[in-house]
Chain A
Amino acid sequence: MKKTKQLFAGLILMALGLGTAQAEYTLNLMRGVTKVSNDIYDLHMLILWICVFIGIGVFGTMFYSIYHHRKSRGHKAEQFHENTTVEIIWTIIPTLILIGMAIPATKAMIELDDVQESEMSIKVTGHQWKWEYEYLDNGIHFFSSLDEASNKVRQVGSGIDPRSVPHYLLNVDKPLVIPTKKKIRFVFTSADVIHSWWVPDLGWKKDTNPGFINESWTSVDEPGTYRGQCTELCGKDHGFMPIVVIAMNEPDYNAWVEQQKAAIAAEAGSASKQWTNEELIAKGKSVYDTNCSSCHMADGAGLSGTFPAITASKVVTGDINAQVKLMLDGKGMMPAFGKILSPVDFAAVVTYTRNGLGNSVGDSIQPSAIQTLQSATPAAGKNE
């Protein structure tokens, strides 16, 4: 079956003058790298074969009939129009097949649902349009967005060949790292709209609902890099918030954890030092491109009717404290960046918007000032 499909696919491609594809396309569900994903794959194949088998029976009968029982071959129509025995048989047999399918399906469902006895927990929060990861056991916490190379290419009319970017649209700036051979529990929620977290190799996806917690789990045997995407429509950049999971052996994972902890300490240190305007503006540009440009546009022009422009904005060219306050708390669709950006990134992007993107207010704010404000802001829920 698979071979025939591939042959068929190849024929079409050749007919279209494309030559057989260079890109590694697949035709079937992937087996994945967990026990659950393998069970799901087996179930998928079982039902696929049942369908193929029934299809051959039904379509075979139909085409036999179409060929032989046609008027042009002089076939005379018989006038039967019911047969209770046949009708009972073709009700009972499908029922039995369904029961045969339901048993392994129930087993797989129960296995998929069982998050108990997990060894560590990671909280995943969906944002428009990035993922937030929080390791509940050791305090590591970061955001993960589409990588810069893909982001450049995916702008309308960028003219850059997506094939020139490795893992186009499936790469992030900071991947999620997990240890192998450990039962990891994920808890899911969202900061704005509903998203869905899907890595095909793990075998499942789970919706992230604002205000509610969902759970799932995985246990990966082999180290490797596994990629996925958001699968619940979440607004204009729904197609641009990929997921990358790197599974590492225990020692590598522990080294990674130590490295992250050191980075957190370094970050805290840099927040207290005095930054020059030029340093802040330079850093602010990259923060802006990652966090702001998807709504306010890369050139700060905004999107008329939905997202305000930064260039010549009353807020950005007005009082700096009012701008900082708005960004800390968020407004409408604008998230509360006080909970998203580090003090350094926050101060840098404020300074950049006031002195870049066509604005030239000339002032700046220091990370240390932001740090004070952030610790003073209560953990606000809704922005009302």
Chain B
Amino acid sequence: MSAVVAEHDAHHEHHEHGPAKGLLRWVITTNHKDIGTLYLLFALTMFFVGGAMAMVIRAELFEPGMQFVNPQFFNSMTTMHALVMVFGAVMPAFVGLANWMIPMMIGAPDMALPRMNNMSFWLLVAGVLLLASTLFMEGGAPASGWTLYPPLVLQTGKALPFAIFSVHLLGISSIMGAINIIATIFNMRAPGMTLMKMPMFVWTWLITAFLLIAIMPVFAGAVTMLLTDKFFNTSFFDAAGGGDPVLYQHIFWFFGHPEVYVMILPTFGVASTIIPVFARKPLFGYSSMVYATASIAFLSFIVWAHHMFTVGMPIAGELYFMYATMLIAIPTGVKVFNWTATMWKGSMTFETPMLFSIAFVVLFTMGGFTGLMMSVAPVDFQYHDTYFIVAHFHYTLVPASVFILMAAGYFWLPKWTGHMYDERIGRLHFWLSVVSVNILFFPQHFLGLAGMPRRIPDYAVQFADWNMISSIGGFIFGASQLLFLYIVIDTIKGGTGEKVTDEVWEDAAKHSLEWTLPSPPPYHSFTTPPTVIPTEHI
């Protein structure tokens, strides 16, 4: 620690060691913390934009009959809600966390490729703005679902080429972010920080980054084929020209299934970081956690067609994808058991980050259960494209990825800002969120099983009660998130006024390096490498 401070004093007059002055700092910054902050604030903004779209959806579904929007706009909302949440909120939020935490966790001064880091953020902004601009185009925003299946997507109005170009930009941005993370982890680790001593968050991001590099070009290729089918007379997905619309689905889900793990693997990493700190115990089964993550990543590439069981595959294909999908339950089970074993015989306290993490383990497991149910191909012939599916993937995204992002916010905000958040309001935010998220999504299981298809703007009256309850849950959940916004702003401005220590949480420095730095940490995290590597998490 003293070495770090001394280093700073020595270079105290050099300008490049502090942030640039004024607003331009945020445009030209190459600093991992500044870029991390930009990513996180951008993601938070998009979380509210995508959330507002979800509110439109839930308002229309509050009662049977069409009250507020026309069906075409409703379809645009479901499509844009998904695209904004996936590419604008959840993925950027995890990239923001990676930017902030990976250099601090591995004992590095910054990311390996700081200029590219800046570019990947601003390309993300360009991509998302381009996507959002389609809302105002003739014919409306894409309304074919986030999967952009042809031939339907080819009926999009003027928005189609803009949406496709936006996907290209988002893909380039993600790939550059992934390259940066891999380069940083492989080249910038402090001496003694071997791969098998890295914190789980770093491990999960390393694996996620490889997934991103493998899949984003595939998605870019798929949408480029849509573009040429629409404008250059190719027939990749048109049977009349020798193509096949189902080919698109195979390509899309070869991207799409690993993509959903891009959103969940870093979630696992954060949970594996937070739970041991509040259980005051080492993480149970560190190496099996690493291997389980790698197995899940590998399996994610060979199960894609379970999204397409009803598309008309040969029986051998149905059976293969069913067996392969079932296998995912094994490494995922290992993770859940390990988290439980980490809590077992610990000395737990329940600050807000821990509350969100425990809720994550429980509710993600529920999403896992429904996932296991859907893996069984013949039964999926009933579940497919119903609200049962909607409930499943929202359980694995909202009370899983989003809850863990909240947990990460509460966990690291004191480190980032040097201020403590208001624990009372944090817990209120947690309880409101955890209750309302279940009122929102649990009834959707019933709706799906009772026969309500997804992506419909209106429904038969026997689905009315559960839709109303779900909508009420949605409104409470949406409103509760304003509390989080308040807490973030309040903490940045000074929070409770209590001066936080370097460790923030009891004995946290035994778990990971960021807690050995001051709160807030210096602009360049570790200008000299740390000498002691924490091993409590192993």
A interface with B by C-beta (< 8 Å):
9, 12-13, 16, 18, 21, 23-30, 36, 39-40, 43-44, 47-48, 51, 54-55, 58-59, 61-62, 65-66, 69-72, 75-83, 86-87, 90-91, 94-95, 98, 101-102, 105-106, 108-113, 153-158, 160-163, 167-170, 188, 192-194, 196, 198, 200, 203-207, 209-212, 214-215, 228-240, 303-306, 333, 381-382, 384
Contacts and interface: CB of A to CB of B under 8 A. Distances in A.
Given A77-B345, A78-B345, A238-B455, A23 B461 contact: yes
A69 B348 contact: yes
Contacts of A214: 311-312
B428 interface: no
Given A18-B465, A48-B373, A200-B451, A162 B348 contact: no
A66 B359 CA distance: 12
A58 B336 contact: yes
A90 B349 contact: no
A229 B447 CA distance: 14
B358 interface: yes
B239 interface: yes
A69 B347 contact: yes
B318 interface: yes
A190 B365 CA distance: 38
B463 A101 contact: no
Given A28-B449, A77-B281, A81-B281, A196 B347 contact: no
B337 to A, nearest CB: 5
A377 B279 CA distance: 77
A44 B382 contact: yes
14 contacts: A25-B465, A43-B379, A75-B346, A77-B347, A81-B285, A87-B288, A94-B329, A102-B326, A194-B245, A203-B382, A211-B244, A230-B453, A236-B70, A236-B143
Contacts of B386: 231
Given A40-B382, A70-B349, A204-B381, 19 more contacts: A27-B450, A77-B281, A77-B345, A80-B345, A90-B337, A94-B329, A102-B326, A156-B67, A158-B66, A160-B65, A161-B65, A168-B64, A198-B453, A200-B382, A204-B310, A210-B239, A233-B145, A236-B143, A239-B71
Given A44-B373, A109-B315, A210-B151, A163 B75 contact: no
Nearest to B331: A91
A207 B248 CA distance: 14
B280 interface: yes
A294 B69 CA distance: 15
A156 B345 CA distance: 58
B186 interface: no
Given A26-B450, A91-B330, A102-B322, A71 B349 contact: yes
B376 A47 contact: yes
Contacts of B469: 12-13, 16
B280 A71 contact: yes
Interface of B: 64-72, 75, 138-140, 143-145, 149, 151-152, 155, 157-158, 238-240, 244-246, 279-288, 310-312, 315, 318-319, 322-323, 326-327, 329-330, 333-334, 336-337, 340-341, 343-350, 358, 361-362, 365-366, 369, 372-373, 376-379, 381-382, 384-386, 439, 446, 449-451, 453-466, 468-469, 472, 538
Contacts of A162: 64-65, 458, 461
Main secondary structure of the interface of B (DSSP, over half): helix
A43 B283 CA distance: 36
Contacts of A27: 446, 449-450
B438 to A, nearest CB: 11
A82 B285 contact: yes
Contacts of B439: 12
A156 B66 contact: yes
Contact of B362 (A62, A80, A102): A62
Nearest to B152: A193
A98 B454 CA distance: 28
A306 B140 CA distance: 9
Given A98-B329, A194-B245, A203-B382, A30 B337 contact: no
A205 B385 contact: yes
A343 to B, nearest CB: 27
Contact of B310 (A69, A94, A205, A234): A205
Contacts of A305: 138-140, 157-158
Q: When A and B form their complex, which 7 residue pairs have the shortest distance between CB atoms, in order from nearest?
A: A211-B239, A239-B456, A214-B312, A81-B282, A77-B347, A204-B381, A305-B138
